[in-house]
Chains A and B, each alone.
Chain A
Amino acid sequence: MTMTNQVMVQGLTRRFGQVAAVTDLSFTVEPGAVTGFLGPNGAGKTTTLRMLLGLVRPTSGTATIGGRRYADLPHPARTVGAVLDASSFHPGRSARNHLRVYGDMIGCSERRIDEVVDLLGMPEFADRPVRGFSTGMRQRLNLATAMLGDPPVLVLDEPSNGLDPEGIAWLRRFLRAMAAEGRTVLVSSHVLSEAEQMVDQVLVIRRGRLMSAGPLAGLTGDGSTLEQAFLRLTEGAA
């Protein structure tokens, strides 16, 4: 079995003072599918993803991509493309210049900048300052930044937040296409009805602990919606 693009979390724990944000979390995410990382707000999704990417230090446990910690990857941004904030751009900088700055950091050519601008459907607004961008345009720029290094792994925190139905449909197609190319796609969401349309595999987390992991069909196979299945899971725990 290849470890190359597998995301693996083992015994991951993070406490903020007395508050346990994530407790002994273990799971794997395989390539070639969209995996939903689902749970209510405050369940520990963001903390987990930030620990996976080396932005937050775990209290204990490990998180690896292809067997290595993010910071130990020889080419981190060419291995994992990540979007963690809804908007993390300088308002006065154009989208294209934003992409050029980060392209510079990993040695992207101007051609690659053009490619991601086309891939994310941004040619009309790429040269405008980010200041005036809609939520949907910002999300495309986020994904374009993540795609600069053509990474085999995508990690996205709440990418559908604030998108209109058209934007969500577009995002679904994009994620499906990425998984179909064999990439590992890990997407967090607290909106289960949206996630249901988007993912193949689910990881359900609540209060920092894993509640369920497996194919979506395993949870919704009895004809219930993901939301009903989720409520059933969490009631059982309460």
Chain B
Amino acid sequence: MRRLVKAEFRRLFTTALWRWGPLAAVVCGGVLVGLATLVGPENFEPSMPGVRTEEGVRTVLSLTGLTVIVPALFGATAVTSEYRHKTITFTFLFAPRRQTVLAAKLLTYAVAGAAYGLVVTTSAAVGLYGGAALRGVSVGAGPGTVAELLLRLAAAMTVYTMLGVGIGALLRNQTAALAALGLYLYMVEHALALIPGVNLIYPYLPGGATAALTNFNLITQAAEEISVSSAQLLPPVLGALVLAAYAVTATALAIGVPMRRDVT
């Protein structure tokens, strides 16, 4: 397994893709949060509490939670790129026990996803404090609260990267992975959250679990305005566990079903 993980890291660092990772992380973290802080949530439409309040700080930082599709797609490329360039043939010849290949990819991308998450959140912190300083506004949350929220976001990025690996192994095609993730994260789940009755399961869906983990979600807030029966989010730790369960399920599915498929 150590050899396979070493090979995965080399795979990752010997193409140009990984160089885009830190850039994407800074855009999804620092740039997004910096802009939101500079504009100020009080000027959002609808208006929200400003960054001098703790709620405002949460709002601004949690915007990065909307970009989880980026690490998920990054994780998906771990597998889809191998099918696209047919390197999967050599890979399975060198490691015919295919589950070990997937396990090595998950481990590698968990580390890479955590690194991505830390760049996102570190740059987000710079965006928050930098933006607030530029506007001459004080940050309405203590450093402990900010750090905790950022760590939760970094954890979400890590789990979504692993989820992406599982989805990539299931679908094997990057366009299909993009379409499935995009449709699900930005349409299907939001639609479910708005339907009375069905929205009771929303806390257990990946988006609801992410919202619980990051302690904020624009969609549930919108849903609350529309529907009184909007579901209560899970406690953060439970949210993290639910997300982890999704990653494990995706992986188990990927190992159990499609990895047995013929490679032609």
Verify that A and B bind, or say they do not: yes
- With an 8 A cutoff between CB atoms, is A54 at the interface? yes
Q: Is the CB of B86 within 8 A of A94?
A: no
- CB of A24 within 8 Å of the partner chain: no
Cβ of B87 within 8 Å of any chain A Cβ, yes or no, is yes
Interface residues of A in 90-109 (CB under 8 A from B): 90-94, 97-98, 100-102, 104-107
**CB distance B93 to A104 under 8 Å?**
no
Within the complex, the shortest CB–CB distance from B99 to chain A, in Å, comes to: 12
| Contact status A105-B3, CB under 8 Å | yes
B47, CB-defined interface residue at 8 Å: no
- Docked pose: A56 CA to B86 CA in angstroms: 15
Give CA–CA (A88, B84) in the complex, Å.
Answer: 9
Tell me the bound Cα distance from A113 to B85 in angstroms: 22
Q: Specify which of A55, A107, A145 is in contact with B262 (CB 8 Å cutoff).
A: A55
Given contacts A55-B89, A145-B90, whether A101 and B14 have CB atoms under 8 Å apart is: yes
A87 at the B interface (CB under 8 A): yes
Given that A56-B262, A56-B263, A70-B96 are known contacts, is A101 also in contact with B89, CB under 8 Å in the complex?
Answer: no
Contact present for A91 and B85 (CB under 8 Å): yes
Given the known interface contacts A88-B85, A90-B15, A106-B94, the answer about A101 and B10 at a Cβ–Cβ threshold of 8 Å is yes
Choose among A77, A85, A89 the residue that contacts B94 (Cβ–Cβ < 8 A).
A77
Q: Which residues of B contact A76 (CB under 8 A)?
A: 93-94, 96
Partner of B10, one of A54, A70, A88, A100: A100
A210 contacts the other chain (Cβ, under 8 Å)?
no
Per-position binary interface string of chain B over residues 75-92, scored 1 when its CB falls under 8 Å from any chain A CB and 0 otherwise: 000000100011111111
Q: Are A93 and B7 in contact (CB under 8 A)?
A: no
Assuming the contacts A89-B85, A105-B7, asked whether A56 and B90 have C-beta atoms less than 8 A apart, the reply is no
- Shortest distance from the beta carbon of B102 to any chain A beta carbon, whole Å: 14
Taking a contact as CB atoms under 8 Å apart, the answer to whether A94 and B14 are in contact is yes
- In Å, the complex CA distance between A100 and B90 comes to 13
Task: Give the one of A56, A104, A105, A106 with max B CB within 10 A.
Answer: A105
Chain B: CB-nearest residue to A97:
B14
13 A-B residue pairs with CB within 8 Å: A50-B262, A55-B92, A55-B263, A88-B85, A88-B86, A88-B87, A90-B14, A90-B15, A92-B15, A94-B14, A101-B10, A101-B14, A106-B3
Smallest CB gap from A93: residue in B = B14
- State whether the Cβ of B52 lies closer than 8 Å to any Cβ in chain A: no
Q: How far is the CA of A82 from the CA of B93 in the complex (A)?
A: 8
Tell me the minimal C-beta distance from A163 to chain B in angstroms.
19
Instruction: Give B residues with C-beta under 8 Å from A.
Output: 3-4, 6-7, 10-11, 14-16, 81, 85-97, 260, 262-264
Question: In the assembly, what is the distance between CA of A85 and CA of B3, in Å?
Answer: 24
Taking the nearest CB of chain A, how far is it from the CB of B16, in angstroms? 5
Given A76-B94, A82-B93, A102-B7 in contact, is the A56-B264 Cβ separation under 8 Å? yes
Taking CB atoms, residues of chain A closer than 8 Å to B10 are: 97, 100-101, 104
A156 near B: Cβ within 8 Å? no
Residues of B within 8 A of A80 (CB): 93
A interface, CB within 8 angstroms of B: 46, 50, 53-57, 70-71, 73, 76-77, 80, 82, 84-85, 87-94, 97-98, 100-102, 104-107, 145
Chain A residues with CB under 8 Å of B85's CB are 88-91
By beta carbon, the residue of chain A nearest B104 is A105
- A93 and B15 contacting across the interface, CB-CB below 8 Å: yes
Q: Are B96 and A105 in contact (CB under 8 A)?
A: no
Check A92–B94 contact: CB distance below 8 A. Answer: no
CA distance A70 to B97 in the complex (A): 10
Complex: chain B residue closest to A104, CB-CB: B7
Q: Are A85 and B86 in contact, with the CB atoms below 8 A? A: yes
B-chain residues with CB within 8 Å of residue A73 when the two chains form the complex: 96
Distance from B126 Cβ to chain A, minimum over Cβ atoms (Å): 31
Measured between alpha carbons, how far is A85 from B92 in the docked complex, in Å? 13
| The one of B87, B88, B97 that contacts A71, using a Cβ cutoff of 8 Å | B97
Say whether, besides A50-B262, A56-B262, A94-B14, A102 and B86 are in contact (CB < 8 Å): no
- Chain B residues with Cβ below 8 Å from A98 are 14
